[in-house]
Structure 1
Amino acid sequence: MLIPLYDQKSRIKLLVLVLALLIGVATMLYTNALVRRLSEQEQRQIDLYAKTLRYMISTEETYSLPFLQDQIIDANTTIPVILTDGENIIDTRNLGLGKNITMPDSLRQVKQILQKMQQRHPPIPIELPGNTHNYIFYQDSASLSQLRTYPRVQLAVIASLAMLAYLSFSYSRRAEQNRVWVGLAKETAHQLGTPLSSLVGWQSYLRESERFRDEPIVEELGKDIKRLEIITERFSNIGSVPVLKAENLYLTTRNAIAYLEARVSRKVKFSIETDLPLDTPACLNVPLFDWVVENICKNAVDAMDGRGSITLRLRRVRPRRRWWTRRPSPPQVAIDITDTGKGIPKNKLESVFLPGYTTKKRGWGLGLALARRIIENYHQGRLFVKWSEVGKGTTFRLVLNQ
């Protein structure tokens, strides 16, 4: 089950993306309809242009020619037009050629434009006396061409704004989560302080008592008190930047499970295997690293119902390439923690790291979420499920820099 701490986050992000998509689609549909109407209007204007030329060439009436020339031919100031006789260029309009261009360059550019016009629209023939023809070639006006590209530009802008809103929301939500993590951790440390002080007092009393002075339980109580002090320190340091040091990976891992190994069912067998030299270092913070290993192992014990084996294997891994920087990635090592528990369904491999995800009746479902945060945010490493099969077990991989 997933406790609904932040389950609204995905819905809001999806809503933002859907709204952006709807706005983009609506804009494109409207603009395409507008482009179609303008294109039809320009088509009618060119047809009228061609009919006027045909009439001016064939008619013997001269009194109407100035009017037609002024109101139709010269009135076209936007649509590029080229008039040819099939081989030679007779006239051009609105081609946007430079004023200081030479004649050869001008002719070459006109021919290039003519080729584009031939691909865009079929020519309009003008029948002349003597069974000859002229041809009108044309292309969309600059305004119509710009309007055709406008939906793509607007869609890119909308997509950029949607992505910016998505990232902003993710950042603000992540910041909110961080505040929750820090507040929860520090409040937990504060709450642990009072009973911890009481336990320290009781241990001192027992040590001074002749009846209990030599009892083994007093020393075991001292170990548990020391453990509680470490846990309290961990919680109180959440939110602070931890100090990373080069530590012996094998010994640190061995120590991390030693406390847990003595306090879980004897039917759970722990083992450490390594493909690395025993003195191989890793860059880590020991208290936080111990916390991560313990969280994963405790989950493994629960998944096995207190019966099975947990194997920790140390190995070297190839660093992932960082496309955003040319600097070489530092060498990396990995700890694979494998259990023989119930396994995780494939559709839940990422959900297990979400705050609030838990399969237990009790618990907040924060252990793995906090473990990933410690490794990725504080150690610049990775924590993920390398392998899992329902009914056979699971392997978590923890990657650290050297």
Structure 2
Amino acid sequence: MNGPQVKPERTGFRMQPVALLNSLKLRRSLLDSYGQKNIYKFVIGFNLFLISIGSLFYTNNLVGKLEERELRQVKLFAESLRYAINSDYDEDLNGIMEMIREANTFYEIPAIYVDENNMPAAHNNLAFPTNASPETQERLIEENLAKMKAQHSPIPVELGEGRIGNVYYSNSFLLTQLRYYPYIQLSGIFIIGFLAYLAFSSARKAEQNQVWVGLAKETAHQLGTPLSSLMAWTEYFRSDPDMDPSIAEEIEKDVQRLEMITTRFSNIGSVPTLKEEKVAEVVAGFIKYLQRRVSSKVKFFIDDQLNEGQTVLLNRNLFEWVVENICKNAVDAMGGVGEIKISLVPMIAQNEVIIDIQDNGKGMSKANVAKIFRPGFSTKKRGWGLGLTLAKRIIENYHDGRLFVKSSELGKGTTFRIVMQIAGKAGV
């Protein structure tokens, strides 16, 4: 080659207009699907709310009418008692009470008559165990009387000469059933609705997972052909004595990078192989790699509080992808200038390791925090808004861990938290 050879300067990847347009279309379609899903949820929830209110209102109206009718029946019962007690008939009071009871069996309203000495003298529609002794019946009458006094005001019975008795009563079994029926009905509706929602969400999630798997594997497949070509060109440049060897080395590094990306996408949808890895070493090694590939004005700090050799079950390729996605989002949030602090803290009681990734960027509003893991959502103009979505799926679906936004404040920065299960004791 003629003339001085200039080592190409490393530049960031820039999306072409067509790719950017496709990215925006995909992001918009993903956000639209989530928006429609939320609308459906609101419509279903609002209809359930209307049904609940209507059912409660209608039932309460029926309960009110039935309470009025039962009150009239008890007043009639009290008036019958007054007439029987004050009459000149020599018939036994219990015999008269039996006739009144037979006339009142339809409503089955439990009632107890207490005489002027505050002693139970007669009762109506009280259930006693078979072959209950007089002592048992007396005790049950006292218990029912206490409940009746707490439930309704007594109906006075004029006995003459200033003597007054009282009739205490409680709601009939029919009224009690009717009072609680709407709550039982609504509970059943909500349980069925909740189970239907879980089934629908499960089916929808399975469908989404199939889309993710298909997209990832197709991407890995499409990258395979140009990768093979690039590897051949690398060997060709190395064989050319006029070619600067550093150029081939730089191309090879990028090819290796693309191979790693292809491996990551290939692992999506497959059960990844998890190995016991020293998590501090994995994080430190990858941050060292990442530091050379982001802005030199971004400084990384690692605060390792783990026991030496602490291991975690993970798939290294996928886990590094998660850390990369979070760190690159942090770099973008800081505008390429700032600090990223990574803290590794043991939670021995919970058998967990916490990895906090904190930046001092622009932060997020509460509304954006709630949407940050949704497919297609992004605060940046470029990209598909899928990086954090995939990161969450990798941690939670493949590593049985948790990934969430621990804190975020506008103008101060954001902290993402990764929670992983400890694989074994230190030094294992």
* TM, length-normalised to structure 2: 0.82
**Superposition deviation, residue 361 in structure 1:** 1.1
2:144 corresponds to 1:124 = no
Q: Closer, same or farther in 2 for the Cα pair 1:318/1:5, shift >3 Å?
A: farther
AA in 2 matched with 1:42? E
**Superposition deviation, residue 246 in structure 1:** 1.4
- 1:9 aligns to what? 37
AA in 2 matched with 1:340? N
Superposed CA offset, 1:193-236 (max 9, x none): 22222212222322333333x52111111121112111111111
Which runs of structure 2 are paired with 1:350-369 in the superposition (5 Å)? 350-369=370-389
Which runs of structure 2 are paired with 1:129-168 in the superposition (5 Å)? 130-168=161-199
Equivalent-residue separation in structure 1 for 2:388 and 2:69 (angstroms): 64
Equivalent-residue separation in structure 2 for 1:125 and 1:341 (angstroms): 77
Q: Closer, same or farther in 2 for the Cα pair 1:343/1:53, shift >3 Å?
A: closer
Aligned-residue CA RMSD in angstroms? 2.7
Superposed CA offset, 1:49-98 (max 9, x none): 33334344555699xxxxx9898652211112223323333322210112
Q: Secondary structure at the match of 2:405?
A: strand
1:317 to 339, 347, 352: 347
Q: Closer, same or farther in 2 for the Cα pair 1:293/1:126, shift >3 Å?
A: closer
Q: Unpaired runs of 5+ in structure 2? A: 1-26, 91-95, 423-428
Q: Closer, same or farther in 2 for the Cα pair 1:74/1:293, shift >3 Å?
A: same
Which runs of structure 2 are paired with 1:99-248 in the superposition (5 Å)? 99-128=130-159, 130-212=161-243, 214-248=244-278
**Superposition deviation, residue 129 in structure 1:** 5.1
AA in 2 matched with 1:173? R
Equivalent-residue separation in structure 1 for 2:301 and 2:110 (angstroms): 81
Q: Secondary structure at the match of 1:128?
A: strand
- 1:343 aligns to what? 363
Q: Closer, same or farther in 2 for the Cα pair 1:282/1:171, shift >3 Å?
A: same
Report if the CA contact (8 A) 2:148-2:169 is conserved.
yes
Superposed CA offset, 1:272-321 (max 9, x none): 342335533222110001101111121122222222333333332355xx
**Superposition deviation, residue 380 in structure 1:** 1.8
AA in 1 matched with 2:397? N
1:54 to 79, 82, 85: 82
**Superposition deviation, residue 348 in structure 1:** 2.3
Superposed CA offset, 1:321-352 (max 9, x none): xxxxxxxx42x223332323222223322321
- 1:324 aligns to what? none
Report if the CA contact (8 A) 1:5-1:355 is conserved.
no
AA in 2 matched with 1:242? P
Superposed CA offset, 1:360-385 (max 9, x none): 11111111111111112211222222
1:45 to 67, 73, 87: 73
- 2:280 aligns to what? 250
* Same amino acid, percent of matched pairs: 50
Q: Secondary structure at the match of 2:241?
A: coil
Q: Which is worse superposed, 29-38 or 135-144?
A: 135-144
Equivalent-residue separation in structure 2 for 1:361 and 1:239 (angstroms): 28
* TM, length-normalised to structure 1: 0.86
**Superposition deviation, residue 30 in structure 1:** 0.9
Report if the CA contact (8 A) 1:13-1:166 is conserved.
no
Q: Closer, same or farther in 2 for the Cα pair 1:387/1:52, shift >3 Å?
A: closer
Report if the CA contact (8 A) 2:101-2:124 is conserved.
no
Equivalent-residue separation in structure 1 for 2:129 and 2:313 (angstroms): 66
Displaced runs of 4 or more, over 4 A: 56-62, 68-73
Q: Which is worse superposed, 157-166 or 188-197?
A: 157-166
2:326 corresponds to 1:270 = no
Count of aligned positions: 386
- 1:75 aligns to what? 103
Equivalent-residue separation in structure 1 for 2:302 and 2:131 (angstroms): 82
- 1:36 aligns to what? 64
Equivalent-residue separation in structure 1 for 2:297 and 2:116 (angstroms): 95
Q: Which is worse superposed, 385-394 or 284-293?
A: 385-394
Report if the CA contact (8 A) 2:109-2:171 is conserved.
yes
Q: Secondary structure at the match of 2:199?
A: helix
2:413 to 381, 393, 396: 393
**Superposition deviation, residue 131 in structure 1:** 4.6
